[in-house]
Amino acid sequence: MTSSAATPTTPATPPASGVAAAFASLRAPHFPKVWAAGWIWSIARWGMGFLGAYVVNDLTGSPRLVQLTGTFMWGPLLFAGLVGGAVSDRVDRRRAVLVQLGVMIPLTVLIGVAALGDQLRVWMIYPFLLVVGFGWIVDMTVRRAMIYDLVGEEHVNGAMALEMLSSSAGLAMGALIGGTVIGALGIGQAYLVIAGGLLAALAVMWRVPAVARSAPPPAAREPFLRSVADGFRALPSNPALVSILGVTVFVDFFHFSFFPIVPLIAERLEVSAALTGLLSASSGFGMMAGSLWVAARRPHRGRAYVVGSMAACTLLLGFATAGRYGVALLFALGGGVAMGLFGSTQTALAITATSAELRGRAMGLLSMAIGALPIGMYALGELAQAVGPRTALVIFNLVGLGGLAVWVKVRPEVLRTR
């Protein structure tokens, strides 16, 4: 199943600049295949998230239950992220990605078949999205750790910006494909299309050989639980990582938690399933533009990370209060551009703030910080149930802006991190 050949850790090319820097990492052996598999997985993941929220809204119309789809999908990040990082530092990373895709394909087919037979129920959506969430942990802590091994320090900035590009494109394409297929064919067919995409990702990853690590696995050096604990113990001595993770907590709790509620906003704007998908996708298209700008211009990472976060929260206020579909679409697009700055610098900041042997666990800590998202989704759902989706979004993003400002004032290390 795996090849014994070791893959070079850096491409035999000099560092590039400008637009060329964005794509120099693609010359690293096998990185294009790993990137492509991640892109397909991202489309599938966001598509499954959109479909879950759409189905629950269609069956119940409850903001609380709609937001719970996000809570279940992102919940594993909070509880299993650091464990996933410790596992990533020990296991055959390629094989772990193949297993993850191999589990997701038949489960997605089963959900699609249930929908085709008019047997899909709300209670089925939540455990399915929980499994999707565990798959996201594997992708983030395992596949992304492979990327550094493949491209090396010189090209990690461009590689992670391309990762953000694929993630944001996945958001755009997953929601757009989901909404379009629902409108044209139906919910069951949409799930089957996603299962086909996962099968393609499996085929691509199968062609990737074993990847030589930039640091040896720690399995022979320390017990597993101690390895997990080391990830926590490393935090106090790494103020830059603490500052980076704090920004992530605020952004994911107060800003990113809005994605499942988009169908309710679209419902109040009285638009079709296809236009609902486009409204969800617009954030992804904006994130693609922001990611490409970061990859091409290579700005100061810490500043781009913070400015993008604050701008995204501000623009979402316009999205929440827009009375017309076109206006809401523009605000969502602009907010996505700002989030492209945040997302395309986030992983590179976390990886480069830690030593080689702790990179997998650093990604686990980052995934746990992102784990604030499901809690925020639940809180936003409860608030939306009480005061309505629009008012809840305004309150959340105003509080998020204030919290970010205070955090950066108290922990300014992220602004000095390049």
Domains: count for the chain: 1
Displacement of CA 223 from its chain's centroid (Å): 30
Question: Over 50: is that where the pLDDT of 13 sits?
Answer: no
Q: pLDDT for 346-377, tens place per residue?
A: 777 777 766 655 666 666 677 778 778 888 88
Which two tokens mark 396? 């959340």
Q: What's the whole-number mean pLDDT along residues 301-313? A: 87
* Inter-residue contact 137 to 71 (CB < 8 Å): no
pLDDT at 276 over 70: yes
In a domain, 197, yes or no: yes
What was the pLDDT predicted at 125?
92
Q: State the pTM of this model.
A: 0.69
pLDDT digits (tens, 9 = 90+) for 311-343: 999 999 999 888 889 899 999 999 889 988 887
Among candidates 39, 7, 34, 156, which has minimal Cα distance to 96?
34
For the segment 123-141, the average pLDDT, to the nearest whole number, is 87
Which band of pLDDT confidence, cut at 50, 70 and 90, is reported for residue 99?
confident
What is the pLDDT at residue 84? 57
What tens digit of pLDDT does each residue of 151-164 get? 766 666 667 767 76
Is residue 14 a part of any domain in this protein?
no
Residue 83: per-residue pLDDT: 60
172 falls in which pLDDT band (50, 70, 90)?
confident
pLDDT at residue 138 in the model: 80
Task: Give the whole-angstrom CA distance, residue 188 versus residue 260.
Answer: 19
129-138, 168-177, 273-282: least confidently modelled range: 168-177
**Res. 116: pLDDT tops 70:** yes
Question: Would you say how long the chain is, in residues?
Answer: 418
Q: What is the pLDDT of residue 7?
A: 41
pLDDT confidence band for 194 (50 / 70 / 90): very high
Domain region containing 315: 28-211+235-416
Element at 241 (helix H, strand E): helix 239-254
Helices 63-88 and 122-138: crossing angle in degrees, nearest 10, is: 30
Condensed to tens digits (0 to 9), the pLDDT of residues 378-403 reads 898 899 888 988 899 999 999 999 99
Place of tokens 């992708």: 139
Q: What Cα–Cα distance (Å) separates residue 91 from each residue in 97, 131, 391?
A: 11, 20, 46
Which helix (H) or strand (E) segment holds residue 273: the answer is helix 273-297
- The CATH number given to whatever domain includes residue 351 is 1.20.1250.20
Look at residue 409 and tell me if it is in a domain: yes
pLDDT for 196 equals 93
For residues 316 and 166, give the distance between their C-alpha atoms in angstroms, rounded to a whole number.
22
Band (408; pLDDT cuts 50, 70, 90) = confident
Query: What does the mean pLDDT of the chain come to?
Result: 78
Closest CA to 39 of 163, 215, 196, 205: 163
Q: pLDDT at residue 54 above 60?
A: yes
> What pLDDT sits at residue 222?
53
Q: Looking at the domain assignment, is residue 226 inside a domain?
A: no
Specify the pLDDT at position 21.
56
Measured in degrees and rounded to the nearest 5, phi and psi for residue 208 equal -90, 125
Q: Residue 4: what pLDDT?
A: 37
| Domain presence at residue 13 | no
What pLDDT does residue 358 have? 60
pLDDT higher than threshold 50 for residue 15? no
Whether the predicted pLDDT of 213 surpasses 60: no
**Better pLDDT: 278 or 160:** 278
Among 24-38, 193-207, 314-328, the least confident range: 24-38
Q: Is position 9 within any domain? A: no
The stretch 298-318 carries a mean pLDDT of 87
Q: Find the mean pLDDT for residues 80-106.
A: 73
- pLDDT band for position 235 (50/70/90)? low
Does the residue 353 lie in any domain?
yes
CA-to-CA separations, 359 to 84, 144, 155, 213, 317, in angstroms, rounded: 12, 10, 16, 11, 36
Q: What is the pLDDT of residue 200?
A: 92
- Summarize the confidence of residues 113-137 as an average pLDDT: 89
Within-domain flag for 22: no
